Amino acid sequence: MKQKLLWALARRHVWSDANSTVVRMVSALSITGVAIGVAALVILQAFMGGFTEAIATGLTAMNPPLHIFVPGGGQMDDFDLGAVQSIALGVPGITSVVGVLEKPAVVSGAPGTVTGAMVRGTDNAVLTVGVDLARELDIRAGDEIRIASTAGVEISGMGRVLVDTIVALVVDSVRDFGIEEYNCSLIVLPMNTARNIFRAHGELTSLGAYVSSGTDPVMASEMLNTALYEEYVGGGWPVYMSCIPFLAFHGNLFKALGLERIAMTIVLALITVVALLNLSSALTMIAMEHRRDIGVMRAMGLSPSGVFRISIFRGFLLGGSGAVIGLAFSWISIFAVNRFFPIKLDGSVYWIDVLPGVFPVTTAFIVTLSTILVCLAVSAFPAFSALTHSPSEALRYE
């Protein structure tokens, strides 16, 4: 009952119809300030995180998470694939290894259309064309395209081209790969078809390894690298190979995004700090406004710990309300933007067409919890201040 009474006192001190307009306005402004601070932080994290995640997902959707290659651009072949498979499958978390043959080519679709493209051959693939490339070539699934490559050209002793490779193929599907760069230029097709186009029988440009869900690609790549190095030093085979996580190719991009995210988080955290300073002054004002009441309560037998708790509860009510409102507002904003007001991006610049907002559950929890904790800390000052005054002093205060 007593605890309930203290909550009731704190609640009516910060918000009651009988409060002065000034107190209610100060409380409302404090709650709004904290709500804006929390919402700004959560929304920032939602869109920065959503952007990074969308790019990472788009990149990894079209590429195995681990990239194995010969440093310096050396060629690989099916023998290397078999050898690496035997080692990689012994590394915890790695589930399979595939060969990749990827080279540039010239492609044409509807009459009068021709452009450059990156042709990637891999096992178990069907002929798939990026959605923007398909638009440029004016083709759909079922249409025919022609791919020409200079990689297979043979030149006679007289300098004359003896064989040029132009292959006509039927498109199985047109797909949005998620990344503008892939949509504009990528064609994926079966390994055998790729080898025919490039006249590269048995040849591979790189290997890719897949990992089970929950496996950290960075950790797996380090372990595979060690295994490959030991095999090379031990004389197992003469080719030195290296393995890196695919996203490491775009490491600078992700580092830049991370840096930008930190900088913006600091700026928005300062907004929250300002809101908390405002809350602090509001709590001090509310405490002064109710100083006499506290004296009366002490005269009626309220203990000093009760006085302290009322003050802390006031901070919790203002800060907690602000944090919860900010959290709710951020969730609604993210939902509304995703659903009704998508933020369009220039895909040629940002790789993705729409900025996705992903509600950051963990971050939101941390932001809310830390805001409430700071609010409690901020309310400690008026709480201790209330304890230093004797009831008599508070009663004389007018």
Partner 1 sequence: MLAASGIYCSYGSADASIKVLRGADITIKVGEVVAVTGPSGSGKSTLLHALGLLERPDRGKVLVCDEDGWELSTRKRAELRNRKIGFVFQFHHLLEEFTLRENVMMPCLIAGESSEEAASKADRLLEKVGIIHRASHFPSRVSGGEKQRAAIARAIVMKPDIVLADEPTGNLDADTSVEVENLIMKLADEGSRSFLLATHSQDLASAVHRRFSLSSGVLSEVL
The pair of structure tokens assigned to 130 is 């990026």
As to burial, measured by CB atoms within 10 angstroms (0-12 exposed, 13-18 middle, 19+ buried), residue 296 is middle
Exposure of 259 in the CB half-sphere (CA atoms within 13 A): 6
> Does 292 sit near partner 1 (CB under 8 A)?
yes
> Does 135 sit near partner 1 (CB under 8 A)?
no
Residue closest to 360 by CA, chosen among 78, 53, 83: 53
Under rule CB under 8 A, which residues in 11-70 are in contact with partner 1?
12-13, 16-19
Shortest separation between residue 253's beta carbon and partner 1, angstroms:
56
> Does 383 sit near partner 1 (CB under 8 A)?
no
Number of residues that bind partner 1 (CB under 8 A): 32
User: From CA 97, how far away is CA 382, in angstroms rounded?
Assistant: 64
Shortest separation between residue 8's beta carbon and partner 1, angstroms:
8
Shortest separation between residue 391's beta carbon and partner 1, angstroms:
4
- Residues 297, 312, 378, 386: which binds partner 1 (CB under 8 A)? 297
Shortest separation between residue 318's beta carbon and partner 1, angstroms:
15
> Does 302 sit near partner 1 (CB under 8 A)?
yes
- Residues 140, 293, 325, 370: which binds partner 1 (CB under 8 A)? 293
Stretches 65-73, 264-272, 312-320, 387-395: which one binds partner 1 (CB under 8 A)?
387-395
User: From CA 178, how far away is CA 353, in angstroms rounded?
Assistant: 9
User: From CA 108, how far away is CA 161, in angstroms rounded?
Assistant: 21
Cβ neighbours of 52 (radius 10 Å): 17
> Does 2 sit near partner 1 (CB under 8 A)?
yes
For β-strands 66-69 and 206-211, DSSP reports them as antiparallel
- Residues 304, 348, 365, 384: which binds partner 1 (CB under 8 A)? 304
Helix (H) or strand (E) holding 388: helix 361-388
> Does 298 sit near partner 1 (CB under 8 A)?
yes
Helix (H) or strand (E) holding 245: strand 242-245
The answer to whether the CB of 180 falls within 8 A of the CB of 351 is yes
Nearer CB in complex with partner 1: 212/392: 392
> Does 388 sit near partner 1 (CB under 8 A)?
no
Q: Which stretches of the chain bind partner 1, using CB under 8 A?
A: 1-2, 4-5, 9, 12-13, 16-19, 292-293, 295-306, 390-393, 395-396, 398
